[in-house]
Structure 1
Amino acid sequence: MYNKAETSRIRSEFWIAFGQYMKPIPNSEGRRINWPNYKTGVRNIYFRMKAERDFASIGIELGHQDEELQELYFDQFAQFKKMLEATMGEEWSWKLHQENEFGQAVSRIEKILPAVNVMNENDWPEIISFLKPRIIALDEFWSNVKPGFES
């Protein structure tokens, strides 16, 4: 279907398009932000957006190598579950100690949009419409809870 170079180019074009679409939108503190490469500012806590051949997803990924510390972060997020769901306006999936695509143990709190394909440019508006409000809401949520994760 697509060779590796084409796949890489199409994915790159999607993320560039998404970044340009999001560029005029400031973060919750009114500052410019690189939305596709969102930095939480806290080690081992990542906001991951994915656009794949059969789904799109957005989530919080906890990547601490020490699984006990990872679970501690997960439990800390669980204390804010109601706040997260209120900010997001929906329930998210909570997965403790999953294996990521690199074989590392991670924990995820995520929302998945099934049956979209980043390789199909006709799906891009649906993927962007899925990711945009969620990354903005996630940023708002994070601005409220981040101090609890910085110590």
Structure 2
Amino acid sequence: MYSKEEASKIRQQFWITFGKYMKPISSAEGLSINWINYKTGVKHIYFRMNAEQHKAIISIEITHPNQEIRNLYFEQFKAFKLLFANAVNEEWDWEENAVNNFGIPLSQITKTINNVSVFNQQNWPELISFLKPRIIALDQFWTDVKPVFEAIS
């Protein structure tokens, strides 16, 4: 077991390493991008990547405090489900009514890989291989659909 400080340093080192792998890759629009802290440009819609002790998750989180608007955003994502599936080339989990670790309601679209640990450096290539193509695919998808979300925000 790691102390809080040690765990934080290991996580930080993983994300630095991941960032180095991603740095040479431009966005779908050909721009330089901060892949680790991806900015969707639409308030309350986030692309998140998380590497934990037993799994890694990549997700789209819709956190609008108004449930009706959150549901509207989620319905719009569902309308693009075929385009999304073609972009990511796999099935993801869709949850319209979820709650985050802080008890805040949200809608989310997630993909998880289990039996990997950010604390095991031998798992880092697998974690990077999991996250990298998916965040790139999300960026490509977002480039195509972002104007619709900007129009309804």
Flag whether TM exceeds 0.5 (same fold): yes
Return the alpha-carbon distance in structure 1 between the equivalents of residues 115 and 98 of structure 2.
22
Given that 1:14 and 1:118 are in contact with CA atoms closer than 8 Å, whether structure 2 keeps it comes out as yes
Q: Which runs of 5+ in 1 are unaligned?
A: none
Question: How far is the alpha carbon of 1:59 from its aligned partner?
Answer: 1.1
2:122 alignment counterpart: 122
Q: Secondary structure at the match of 1:150?
A: helix
Partner SS for 1:19? helix
| Distance in 2, Cα, partners of 1:12 & 1:73 | 32
The DSSP-based 3-state class of the residue aligned with 2:36 is helix
Alignment partners' CA distance in 1, 2:53 and 2:87: 28
Could you list the structure 1 runs, at least 4 aligned residues long, displaced by more than 3 angstroms after superposition: none
- Structure 1: which amino acid aligns with 2:133? P
CA offsets 1:29-79 (integer angstroms, 9 cap, x no match): 101001000000000000000100111011100000111111110000000
Q: Which moved more, 1:65-74 or 1:39-48?
A: 65-74
Please name the residue that 1:104 is paired with: 104
Once the two structures are superposed, the pairs formed by residues 83-94 of structure 1 within 5 Å of their partners are 83-94=83-94
| Counterpart code for 2:37 | N
Give the TM-score, by structure 2 length: 0.97
**1:52·1:118 contact (CA, 8 Å) conserved in 2?**
yes
For 1:40, the equivalent position in structure 2 comes to 40
Q: Give the partner amino acid of 2:144.
A: N
Q: CA RMSD in A?
A: 0.6
SS of corresponding position for 1:30: coil
Aligned residues: 151
TM-score of the aligned structures, taking structure 1 as reference length: 0.98
Q: Which residue of 2 aligns with 1:67?
A: 67
**What is the alpha-carbon distance in structure 1 between the residues aligned to residue 16 and residue 34 of structure 2?**
11
